[in-house]
Amino acid sequence: MNPTTIERDQGAMTAEAERLPALIDCDVHPIVADVSVLRPNMSARAARRAFGADVPVYSRDPNRIPHPSSGLRLDAKTPSGGPPGSDPQFALEQWIDPCAIAAAVLVPVQAGLVIPWGDEAAGSEFLAAFNTHLLEEWTGLDSRYRSVISISPYDARGAVAEIERLAGVEGICGIFIPHGAVALGRSQMFPIYEAAEHHGLPIILHPTGAEANFAEAPRIAGGSPDTYPERHAMLAQPGQQIFTSMIFGGAFDRFPGLKLCLVEYGVTWAAPLLWRMDRAYEQGDGELSGLRRKPTDYLADNIRFTTQPLDEPPEREMLWKMLDLMQAERTLMFSSDYPHWDTDDPTTILTSRLPERLRARVAHDNAVECFGDRLGL
Amino acid sequence: MSAGATSTAARGRPLVRHYVGTVEEFEPDRFRTFEIEGRPVGVVRTAAGFFACRNRCPHQGADICAGAVSVGTMVPSQPMQYVYSADRCIVACPWHRWEFDLRDGEGIQGITKKRLVTYAVEVDEDGRVAVLMRGRKGAGS
Ligand code: FES
C-alpha cells in the first residue's frame, strides 16, 4: 500500500559515471541571488553605479530578447526558494555529489553585468567584490568548487591588479572575461594575457546573456536576432570571433603558454573555420607575417573547448568526424552548464554521445592538462 | 511494494493495480513520485484527469516529473505568431523543456521519436488512485 516516495533515483547514472575517470565539470554556474550583499565591499560611488540610486526608470526594457520559459532548470530552485545556482550546498547535493564530480570550474556569467556600464572603475570594483564573495561562499565551502577571477574587459590596468590580488589564492583556477565591445586579440588586452600566462591561469570565455541583448555586448553580425532560438543558434558567432581575433591578433605568439577556454560556444565549427584561416594565412599579403605558425598549429597547444551544448546531428558518427577534425582528443573538455536549462547529463554525453576513445580525455585528461594543479586534485 | 494489487489478465502479463493515495492527496498539476516495482513513477492530477509516467526523460534522463504540467501547449505557427492549443496534456522537462503528451508519451512537435513511458491510472469510487502496470516478466499474479 505504500510505494516509496523518492527524491531522485540516480543509481543507474551514478554507476555508469563511476566507471569513468574522475570527472571534471568545466562549466558550473554560481549566482549571487542578491548582488546588494556586495555593497559593503564597494565604495559608495561604485555601489551607486552598480545598484542605482533609487531613481525609477519606467521606459527601458533591459532585455531585447526574453527567454521563452526560463534560462534555468525548473528542478534546481534551492530549498529556500532561491534561484538555481544560488545555494552552493544544494548544488553539491543535487549535482556535484550524485555525478561524482571531482572538480567544478565555476563560471560566473553574472560578471557580464558590467558589460553595458559606462563606468569602468565601478565595474572593476564590483567584480573584485564579486570574486571575493564567490571564493568565500563556494570554494570556501567545498574545494571541489574552483573559482575564477572575473575581470572587466574595458579596464586592463584594473584587471591586472585583480589578477595579482587573487592569483596566489588557493582555489583559483582561471580568469573569466565577460565578452564586451573589445576584440580580444587587440594589444590592449595583452597585459591581461601576460599576467595570465605568468600565473598559469587559463582565460575563460562564455556567453553572458548580454550578446545581442545589451549595449556594448557582442552583436550578431548581419542584423540582430529577433527571437530566442535565433539568438541561441547564433551564439557560436561571438566564439568564432574570439577564436579568430586571438589567433590572428598574435596573442599566442606573444604568450605561448597562454590557454584560451571557449565554453559553450559550440565545437563543430572549429575545424572548418581553421581551414579558412589557414588558407587566409597562407595567402595573406603580409598582414599576418608576425604569426610564427599557421592557425591550426595553435589549436592543441593553446585552445580548449567544452562539450555543452553538444550538437545532436541525426547520426552520432557525423559528430565524431567533426570532433576528430578539431583534435578533440587534445582540445575538448566536459561541461554540464548546471543549473541552466540546457544542462547536459555527464553519463549521457560521455557514454552515449562520444566515442569510447575520447571519454577519458574529455571527462578528465584534457582539463587536467589545461588547468593543472589549479584543479586541486 | 504495493499491497492490495488486483490482477487483470491482458496481453500476456497481467496488469497490476498499485494504489498511490487518494484524490485529495494530489495537488493539481504537481507530480508526486513513487518507486513501484523498482521503477521511478510520477502521478499527477490535472484538469484533464490523472496521468502517470516514468520519471525519466527520454532525452537525457532528467527527472521529468519535476517539470511543468499544463493542459495545452504552443503549436507550430508562423514566426512571431503564437498559437496555443488546449488539445493535449503536457509535461515539459525541467531541463531542455522537451514536451511530452501525458496521454500517450508522444514527443510534441516531433522533437523525438522516443516516447515517455506512460501508465494508465484508475480512480475508484472511494477516491483511491491506482497506477496500472504490467507485472514483471515471470512474476506470479
Ligand atoms: S533531459 Fe529532458 S529534455 Fe533533455
Quick check: B53 and B104 in contact, CB under 8 A? Answer: no
Residue A3 pLDDT class (50, 70, 90 cuts): very low
Find where cell 562549466 sits: A27
Q: In whole angstroms, what is the distance from residue A183 CA to residue A353 CA?
A: 34
Structural domain for A206, as ranges: 24-50+70-375
Is residue A358, in this structure, part of any structural domain at all?
yes
Q: A80: which 3 cell numbers? A: 529556500
How many interface pairs between A and B have CB atoms less than 8 angstroms apart? 65
Question: Do B52 and B133 form a contact (C-beta atoms < 8 A)?
Answer: no
Q: Ligand 1, from B91, B98, B109, B112: best to mutate by most atoms within 8 Å of Cβ?
A: B98
Residue in B55, B56, B59, B109 to alter for ligand 1 test, most ligand atoms within 8 A of Cβ: B59
Assigned C-alpha cell, B28: 493539481
User: Would residue A130 count as lying in a domain?
Assistant: yes
Chain A residues contacting B via beta carbons under 8 Å: 1-6, 8-9, 13, 69, 73-76, 226-227, 341-345, 347-348
Mean pLDDT of chain A, nearest integer: 91
Three cell numbers, residue A239? 566564439
Contacts with A343 (C-beta within 8 Å, 6 or more apart), sequence order: A73, A308, A336, A337, B62, B95
| B95 Cβ below 6 A of ligand 1 | yes
Count of Cβ atoms closer than 10 Å to residue B12 Cβ:
8
Give CA–CA dist A372/A59, Å, rounded. 49
Q: Which residues of B touch A (CB under 8 A)?
A: 1-4, 18-20, 32-36, 40-41, 55, 60-63, 66-68, 79-80, 92, 94-97
Retrieve residue B73's grid coordinates. Answer: 501547449
Mutate one of A9, A67, A93 to test the B interface: name it (highest B CB count within 10 A).
A9
Beta bridge partners of A24: A103
* Binding site membership of B62 for ligand 1 (Cβ less than 6 Å): yes
- Residue A268 confidence (pLDDT): 96
Position A53 pLDDT exceeds 80: no
Query: What domain count does chain A have?
Result: 1
Domains of chain B: 15-134 (2.102.10.10)
Q: How confident is the model at residue A65 (pLDDT cuts 50, 70, 90)?
A: confident
Q: Are A135 and A38 in contact (CB under 8 A)?
A: no
The verdict on a CB contact (< 8 Å) between B66 and A74 is yes
The mean pLDDT of A159-165, rounded to a whole number, is 98
Please report the sign of the dihedral spanned by the C-alpha atoms of residue A244, residue A249, residue A252, residue A255: negative
Residue A7 counted as domain residue: no
Q: What is the band of A9 on the pLDDT scale with cuts at 50, 70, 90?
A: very low
Distance of CA A170 to the CA centre of its chain: 20
Classify strands B118-123 and B49-54 as parallel, antiparallel or unpaired.
antiparallel
CATH code at position A332:
3.20.20.140
What is the arithmetic mean of pLDDT over B15-33? 96
The per-residue pLDDT for range B79-109, each reduced to its tens digit, is: 777 777 777 899 999 999 999 999 999 999 8
Distance B133 CA to ligand 1 centre (A): 24
Bond before A355 cis per omega within 30 degrees: no
Which residues fall within 8 angstroms of residue B25, CB to CB, at 6 or more apart? B32, B129
pLDDT-derived band at A68 (thresholds 50, 70, 90) equals: confident
How much is the mean pLDDT over chain B? Answer: 87
As a whole number of angstroms, the distance between CA A120 and CA A122 comes to 5
- CA dist list (Å): A124 to A97, A106, A112: 34, 19, 12
Confidence bin at A64 (pLDDT 50/70/90): confident
- pLDDT per residue over A299-344, tens digit each? 999 999 999 999 999 999 999 999 999 999 999 999 999 999 999 9
Residue A58 within a domain: no
The answer to pTM > 0.90 is: no
> How confident is residue A17, by pLDDT bands cut at 50, 70 and 90?
low
The string of DSSP letters for B96-138 reads T--EEETTT-PBGGGS-SS---EEEEEE-TT-EEEEEEEPPTT
Nearest to B95 among A9, A343, A347 (CB): A343
**Per-residue pLDDT band at B71 (split at 50, 70, 90):** confident
Higher pLDDT, A56 or A318: A318
B91 lines ligand 1 (CB under 6 A): no
> Given a cut of 50, is residue A6 above it in pLDDT?
no
Confidence band for B13, pLDDT divided at 50, 70 and 90: confident
Taking only the tens place, the pLDDT of each residue in A212-228 is 988 899 999 999 898 88
Q: Which residues of B touch A339 (CB under 8 A)?
A: none
**With contacts defined as CB-CB under 8 Å, which chain B residues touch A344?**
60
